Structures are given as C-alpha cells and as structure tokens.
Amino acid sequence: MAMVSTRSTLTWRGVALRCPPSVFIAFLWIAILGVIALLANHLTPFDITATDLRARFRPPVFLDGGDWNHPFGTDQLGRDTFSRLLFSIRTSMTIGLISTFIAAAIGISLGFLAAHTRGRLEQVILMLIDAQAAIPFMIVALAVLAFFGNNLVLFTVLLGFFGWERIARLCRGLAMSASEQGYTIAVRDIGASPVRVYALHILPNVASSVIVAMTLNLPEVILLETGLSFLGLGVQPPLSSLGNMVGTARGYIEGAPWLVLIPSAVIMLTALAISIIGDWLRDRADPTSEGAH
C-alpha cells in the first residue's frame, strides 16, 4: 500500500553501482572492522589480560627490535598490543552501534509523536530537542558517570542519548510531509490506527533519511566514547576499548609512542570512513545533489 517517496527515499541500487575510490576504501575498512568485531575471540593470539613483565615495551615489528610474535609490540605490562587492539575495536564498535540505535529509537519515537500531536505535547518535545542541542553532552555525561558510577550498560545507554535530537527533528519534518501524501490519507480513510500508519507506511518511506542520519551520528558516538574512556570514565578494565588504550598509554608516549599512535590511527580512520560513507549516502539520497547523478 505504501508508495515510495521520491524525495526521501535512498536509491539503494546505487550502493552496488560504481562508487568513488574513497568510498570503496571506506566500505572495505568498515568491512574489515566488522569481521574483527565478529571474530575477535578467534583472531587474537594472546589473552588480553595476560601479562609478561619481562616483555614490557617491546616495539612493533616495523621498528628496530620488533618481532612477529608481537606485531604491534607490547604495553607497560607486557600485554600484546595487537590482541588488545582487536578486542578494543569490537568493544568500541559494539558500543557505538548500540548507542546509535538507541538514539535512533528515541529520535524516531519523539519525532513521530510530535508530528502526530501538533499541540502542547509537540511544543514540549521541541523544547526538549532545543535543550538537548544547547547543553554540552560531554559535561552531562561526566556528571552522570561521576554521580552514578560507571558500568558498561549505563555507559552504553548514556551514549544512546547523544544525537537523538537531530534524528527527532528530521523525523518530525519528514513525517509531517509524508502525512499529507496520498498513500497516508488513503490508509487513514480505511481506518488504520496512527501506530499502523506511522510504523508500516510512513517509517518505511523515511527510513533512508534516518539511516543516513544514523550513519553521520555513529562516528561522533565513537569519538565521544573514546574521549570518555580516555578520561577514565568510559570502558573499565579488564575490558578494553580504543579510548581506553589511548588513555592508559598516554603516560608512555615518549618511550613507547606506538601504544598511543596505533589505536589513535584506528579511531581516526574509522571515524573518517564512516563519515565518507555517510556523506556519500546523503548525496545518493538527495536527487538534487550532484553526487546522486
């Protein structure tokens, strides 16, 4: 029954078509990270908690003194950096994805609710959106983690409140536009409930724009997780994340710079790759953009 909206629907066939080399490399990098996240337990040569003080600060294989037994060297406790990096990638990617989906769920729900009510409740939701956009999220996160303590579930849910306001504002505008389309009016006329209209007819037609928004929000969540973990308020030992690796190694940057540079490079490349993909998908979704042709 639902018809595809020309303006808001992403032509997913374009993903399979020829894309710029930078986008292809970005997709390849994200695919590699996905494989690492899924198979980290089978790819790590060492236990990430196994220490060997006799092997402290061994350099990576591309520096003098390095060997293939520890291709990325070892840290201040003699732990294998390569093994910890693989687990850190899985942790950071998992937190980033779950938090982004939480933000999307909040944003879609409140955006559709605001578009449907068109009254005082809509004004309250718009005030919440403005308040969320005005308050520095990092300060709020620091206060919440300092007051309630930290665990992985709380940390992930807290990051899920980052960026929902942009998705909510987007969904409200798209839903208001879609509600005036003929297919929406038709399903209302045959007695469909508001939940059915929004869930089965409007949402599929705005899903492409929401996915693009989520793609653009994901690197920001990963960088936020990195910053909080760097400050010691994110992922806690014995778990390891990319920000956690950088934070624990910052005191050894002069003597063992690879402990900071390797995870920092992964963070930078991951955020860059996701941003490139997000920008490309946004161009494909907008028929007025030059990148869509």
- pLDDT for 164: 92
The answer, yes or no, to whether residue 206 has pLDDT greater than 90, is no
Banded model confidence at residue 285, pLDDT cuts 50, 70, 90: low
- The CATH architecture of the domain made up of 20-38+74-288 is Orthogonal Bundle (1.10)
Question: 280: pLDDT confidence band, cut at 50, 70 and 90?
Answer: confident
DSSP string, 226-257: HHHHHTTSSS-TTS--HHHHHHHHGGGTTT-T
- Decide if pLDDT at 265 tops 80: yes
As a whole number, mean pLDDT of residues 252-280 equals 90
Residues 50-67, buried b or exposed e (16+ Cβ, 10 A)? eeeeebbbbbbeeeeebe
pLDDT at 12: 43
Q: Per residue in 210-221, is it b (16+ CB within 10 Å) or e — as a string?
A: bbbbbbbbbbbb
Q: What one-character DSSP code corresponds to residue 173? A: H
Confidence of residue 286 (pLDDT cuts 50, 70, 90): low
Query: pLDDT tens across 217-257, in order?
Result: 888 888 888 888 888 788 887 888 888 888 888 888 888 89
CB 282 within 8 A of CB 266: no
**DSSP category for residue 135:** S
Asked whether the predicted pLDDT for residue 30 surpasses 80, the reply is yes
* pLDDT exceeds 50 at position 266: yes
% pLDDT > 70, the chain? 91
The pLDDT, as a whole number, for residue 218 is: 87
Q: What is the pLDDT of residue 18?
A: 64
pLDDT digits (tens, 9 = 90+) for 170-180: 999 988 888 77
Share of the chain above pLDDT 90, in %: 29
pLDDT tens digit string along 33-83? Answer: 999 999 988 888 888 888 888 888 888 988 877 788 889 989 888 899 999
What's the rounded Cα separation, in Å, for the pair 26 and 270? 8
For residue 99, the model assigns a pLDDT of 93
* Mean pLDDT of all residues belonging to the chain: 84
